[in-house]
Amino acid sequence: MAGQFGGTPVLILKEGSQRTAGREAQRSNIMAAKAVAGAVRTTLGPKGMDKMLVDTMGDVVITNDGVTILKEMDIEHPAAKMMVEIAKTQDSEVGDGTTTAVVLAGELLKQAEGLLEQEIHPTVIAAGYRAAADKSMDILKVIGVKVAPKDEELLKKVAITAMTGKGSGTAREELANLAVQAVQSVVDEDGSVDIDNITVEKKVGGGITDSQIVRGVVIDKDRLHPNMPKKVSGAKIALLNAAIEIEKTEVDAKIEITSPDQLQAFLDQEETMLKDMVDRIVKTGANVVFCQKGIDDLAQHFLAKAGIYTVRRVKKSDMEKLGRATGGRVVTSIHDLTKNDLGKSQIVEERKIGDEKMTFVEGCENPKSVSIILRGGTEHVVDELNRAMEDALRVVGVVIEDKMLVPGGGAPEVELALRLREYAATVGGREQLAIEAFADSMEIIPKTLAENAGLDQIDSLVALRSGHEKGVKTSGLDMDTGEPVDMLKLGVVEPLRVKTQAINSAAEAAVMILRIDDVIASKSGGPAGGMPGGMGGMPGGMGGEDFD
């Protein structure tokens, strides 16, 4: 990049930097974004395929979870990275619909490409897309169905829809039941749900149906001393964020001992101090101690002698969950511990799950923190089950918070396409073309669902359109028969927020990519040279993959 000044070239960019401008820059960015969408498109829906991802260390991940695939892929192109951000945002906000968001963004850019070729300015397309996205929010609220937070049957259907096709197989019913029970247990008084209060422990061994919910907390640690009781009934639990050991001085100190008697007195004093600490715990009536810090060997002996079940070096997050589950308070000084700070549970027990010993805190009264133990035949199965369970927990939590859901199976997208075309006719001008392109993009979801189920895209879409034109707003695609079916009756439902977030994220990302007309790449950063249309780290076949 250089300019002329009095016949002398003036260099503005470093030597080796490359600049791609105008249509070439837009084409490169759109191609990269479409390649990302193409990479995850085959995983969409209950009949979607899985991807096997092998990293540089040889570790294998087998999944059809959109955000997991994109996180594991080694993507270089800046526009492609923006598509990964869509999936991450969708995952953090809702927990499901990551593939939908990315596929929608890819299709919006593909439709925009056609408009750019008709010499329609990117700003006009961006304005049309924003208007269409806003209108979509209004339409979705009309399609949405209210749900009561205590309607367990409907919540289970939401969880089953989220888990379908994610390795849960025939155990979906049982796992959905666990998810609904867990989320309902941790709902706060204001109706909000923090999924972090649900601990999910993965253990290889047994079958999927051996998975269970624990109305309390499972800590991945065993008791501290073999002489401590293995099981405590009627547990009174002390939660300590203080070490049960002699504190070291913060400044350098020296103690001079000149005789054996003084040494013995020093050791006796240490022992007395430790015994005093344990006695203070015993006086409160505690028979279980969870300590966030270290415990001296001698203190372990005194605790075992007193018959107190003790676990040390418990994570801070686990301590908070124990507090929520048992009603106990985390105390930072043993001197301040009173019986009013103790938590309660029916049982605290050490059990062996697979090869590992774990501590179960069960039978808590109205626990605000619970645990789920997932079992499966292999590590890959358990990992995929964990991803499915996380999605299920998040969507159930979102439905309880928003109290709104929409039918699945492509029903909302077909209804949106129909209503947006009607809306486009009222807008007029060039923006009308952008809104119509947005409407066409919506139909990529039912088309992809049909394709991944081995059905004919065109026949399925025509049948769905016909149903919606007759006023059946909940008509979606039955993946087994290929016929349009009322999704609410079939029990295929999703949180409203999954759709609103996916459409907003996809529209914003598409608009941002469209508005880029100049890419300036320095020599050291980014893909070598002028940022190719494909992506580093992806198989050649995906570089320019397009949609049908």
The answer to whether residues 45 and 122 belong to one domain is yes
pLDDT score for 3: 53
C-alpha 372/C-alpha 414 separation (Å) is 37
C-alpha 354/C-alpha 36 separation (Å) is 39
Mean pLDDT of 412-433: 89
Residue 401 lies in a domain: no
- pLDDT beyond 60 at 539: no
Question: Locate tokens 């049948």: which residue?
Answer: 463
- pLDDT beyond 90 at 132: yes
pLDDT score for 10: 60
Domain containing 53: what range? 21-146+407-453+492-530
Indicate the pLDDT class of residue 414, thresholds 50, 70 and 90.
Answer: very high
Residues with Cβ within 8 Å of 87's Cβ and at least 6 positions away in sequence, in order, are: 66, 67, 70, 71, 98, 99, 101, 102
- pLDDT beyond 80 at 425: yes
Show contacts of 319-322: CB within 8 Å, 24+ apart.
319/239, 319/241, 319/290, 319/292, 320/369, 321/197, 321/199, 321/217, 321/369, 322/217, 322/219, 322/237, 322/239, 322/290, 322/361, 322/369
pLDDT digits (tens, 9 = 90+) for 285-294: 889 999 988 8
Residue 261 lies in a domain: yes
- pLDDT beyond 70 at 432: yes
pLDDT score for 15: 65
The answer to whether residues 362 and 415 belong to one domain is no
Domains: count for the chain: 2
Average pLDDT, the chain: 82
pLDDT score for 536: 42
pTM of the model: 0.76
The answer to whether residues 355 and 415 belong to one domain is no
pLDDT digits (tens, 9 = 90+) for 9-51: 665 666 666 667 777 777 888 888 888 888 888 888 888 888 8
Residue 417 lies in a domain: yes
- pLDDT beyond 60 at 380: yes
C-alpha 35/C-alpha 427 separation (Å) is 32
- pLDDT beyond 60 at 177: yes
C-alpha 278/C-alpha 78 separation (Å) is 59
The answer to whether residues 355 and 431 belong to one domain is no
Q: What angle do CA 512, 518, 520 make, to 5 degrees?
A: 115
C-alpha 361/C-alpha 128 separation (Å) is 56
Residue 505 lies in a domain: yes
Beta 484-486 vs 475-477: how paired, if at all? antiparallel
Percent of the chain's residues with pLDDT above 70 = 87
C-alpha 344/C-alpha 348 separation (Å) is 10
C-alpha 63/C-alpha 158 separation (Å) is 20
- pLDDT beyond 70 at 160: yes
CA dihedral 300, 306, 310, 316 (to 10 degrees): -90
C-alpha 167/C-alpha 213 separation (Å) is 19
pLDDT score for 34: 87
pLDDT score for 266: 60
Mean pLDDT of 331-355: 87
The residue out of 313, 334, 366 marking a domain boundary is: 366
The residue out of 337, 366, 395 marking a domain boundary is: 366
- pLDDT beyond 80 at 271: no
The answer to whether residues 87 and 136 belong to one domain is yes
List the structure tokens of 519: 């890419």
CA distances from residue 477 to 166, 392, 464, 467, 538 in whole angstroms, order as listed:
19, 22, 7, 11, 32
Residue 162 lies in a domain: no
C-alpha 135/C-alpha 307 separation (Å) is 66
DSSP code at position 363: -
Residue 164 lies in a domain: no
pLDDT digits (tens, 9 = 90+) for 234-257: 989 999 888 887 766 556 666 676
The answer to whether residues 237 and 336 belong to one domain is yes
DSSP code at position 350: E
pLDDT score for 272: 77
Residue with the larger pLDDT of the pair 245 and 178? 178
Residue 473 neighbours by CB distance under 10 Å: 22
Percent of the chain's residues with pLDDT above 90 = 12
DSSP-derived 3-state class of residue 232: strand
pLDDT score for 420: 92
Instruction: Give start and end residues of each alpha helix (H) in 284-378.
Output: 297-305, 316-326
Residue 424 lies in a domain: yes
- pLDDT beyond 90 at 194: no
Residue 349 lies in a domain: yes
pLDDT digits (tens, 9 = 90+) for 482-505: 888 888 888 888 889 889 999 999
C-alpha 299/C-alpha 277 separation (Å) is 8
For the domain that residue 56 is a member of, what is the CATH number? Answer: 1.10.560.10
- Do 505 and 89 form a contact (C-beta atoms < 8 A)? yes
Mean pLDDT of 191-195: 81
pLDDT digits (tens, 9 = 90+) for 102-121: 999 999 999 988 888 888 88
Residue 104 neighbours by CB distance under 10 Å: 27
pLDDT score for 507: 92
The answer to whether residues 352 and 235 belong to one domain is yes
List the structure tokens of 222: 């065993």
pLDDT score for 252: 65
The answer to whether residues 304 and 435 belong to one domain is no
Mean pLDDT of 311-327: 89
- Do 94 and 394 form a contact (C-beta atoms < 8 A)? yes
- Partners of 19 in beta bridges: 520
CA dihedral 26, 29, 35, 36 (to 10 degrees): -140
The answer to whether residues 419 and 362 belong to one domain is no
The answer to whether residues 223 and 351 belong to one domain is yes
- pLDDT beyond 70 at 147: yes
For the domain that residue 232 is a member of, what is the CATH number? Answer: 3.50.7.10
Least confident stretch, 203-217, 478-492, 524-538:
524-538
The answer to whether residues 360 and 420 belong to one domain is no
Mean pLDDT of 465-473: 88
- pLDDT beyond 80 at 301: yes
Kindly list the catalytic residues: 65, 98-99, 391
Mean pLDDT of 360-383: 84
The answer to whether residues 414 and 359 belong to one domain is no
pLDDT digits (tens, 9 = 90+) for 224-233: 888 888 998 9
pLDDT digits (tens, 9 = 90+) for 71-99: 888 788 888 888 888 888 888 888 788 88
pLDDT score for 526: 45
